[in-house]
Structure 1
Amino acid sequence: MNSNDDVHLRRAGRPDVLPAADVWLRSFTAALPSVRCAHSDSEVGDWFSRVVVPQYETWVAVTENKVVGVMVLSDGELKQLYLDPAWRGQGLGDRFMSLAKQQQPHGLVLWTFQVNQSAHRFYERHGFVAVERTDGLRNDEREPDIRYVWQPQK
């Protein structure tokens, strides 16, 4: 079992680009086996290098100099939250969610695929409410998805 105590969260930098992309790819494959990844491994690495790390608020979870999680925020949207498959169920997602709410205290929106039942449970446990379902024609994977919203308690 992995120890969440040995993991620290920090903003991603240039050296984190490829390790974070690797976590994204491995997590996507493990969590979404029925969903076709719309981009090659090298395209995902390029996207992390050109867009994700330099243009968005990108955070990584690091233990023993190894990236084990990645979270991406932009303008009130939780764009990405992916964990190394070995780190799922260890509380790391909860830590990322607390950080996301700290960084975006006025609320968050996110999209997740309809087939990703574990993500639905996770986000709903953290106070997100499903507000829209689509046929997936607007995402690269062409996979039906759900938009979730979190609003802080007044």
Structure 2
Amino acid sequence: MEHGDVLIRPADDTDADAAADVWLRSFAAALPSVRCAHTDEEIRNWFAHVLVPQYETWVAVTEDTVVGVMVLKGKELKQLYLDPAWRGRGLGDRFMALAKRKQPDGLTLWTFQVNTSAHRFYERHGFTAVERTDGQGNDEREPDIRYSWQTRRRSP
């Protein structure tokens, strides 16, 4: 899956730290008003011991540098984070196309209500907001939105 000089491939154990670093940089850049509920070390451990080995984790790599990460758990898109320098360059679109190919019957995801750029991105990709919460169900205690995408099946 090459495009330009970026390869999207399944993550392996050696990618966990670099993927966590992308997550940390992206979270800080995209969500400056949201308190990260975990330390950097806890995030790195979560990638190394949960996300990479237990979930379907993909990384975008250029010149041996991880610049994006996507995590699927069945029909739930758990994580989609890009290095801030790679936003707006089509990489998120490529990850979204991959997620839809992997889960053609539909996807759901959560994003924070303050993350308006994520809302625009997901809505552009056909997701609709189906639930809003006060944030009591997430570690950050930040109001969030659940989005859903369903394929449009043609009638016989």
Distance 1:69 1:153 in 2: 28
Unmatched segments (≥5 aa) in structure 1: none
Distance 1:153 1:11 in 2: 28
Distance 1:49 1:14 in 2: 7
Deviation sequence 1:90-146 (CA, Å, 0-9, x none): 000000000000000110000000000000000000000000000000000000000
Query: Displacement of 1:75 after TM fit?
Result: 1.4
Query: Displacement of 1:84 after TM fit?
Result: 0.2
Alignment correspondent of 2:76: 77
Alignment correspondent of 1:86: 85
Distance 1:72 1:27 in 2: 15
1:151 matched to 2:150? The reply is yes
Distance 2:103 2:7 in 1: 20
Query: Displacement of 1:153 after TM fit?
Result: 1.3
| Equivalent runs, 1:28-47 vs 2, <5 Å | 28-47=27-46
Unmatched segments (≥5 aa) in structure 2: none
Alignment correspondent of 1:142: 141
Distance 2:73 2:102 in 1: 10
Alignment correspondent of 1:132: 131
**Amino acid in structure 2 at the alignment position of 1:62:** V
Alignment correspondent of 1:61: 60
Q: What is the identity percentage for the equivalent residue pairs of Structure 1 and Structure 2?
A: 74
Question: After TM superposition, where is structure 1 displaced by more than 3 Å over at least 4 residues in a row?
Answer: none
Distance 1:74 1:104 in 2: 10
Q: What is the TM-score when the length of structure 1 is the normalising length?
A: 0.97
Alignment correspondent of 1:101: 100
Q: Secondary structure at the match of 2:37?
A: coil
Please tell me the root mean square deviation across aligned C-alpha atoms, in Å: 0.6
Distance 1:75 1:87 in 2: 26
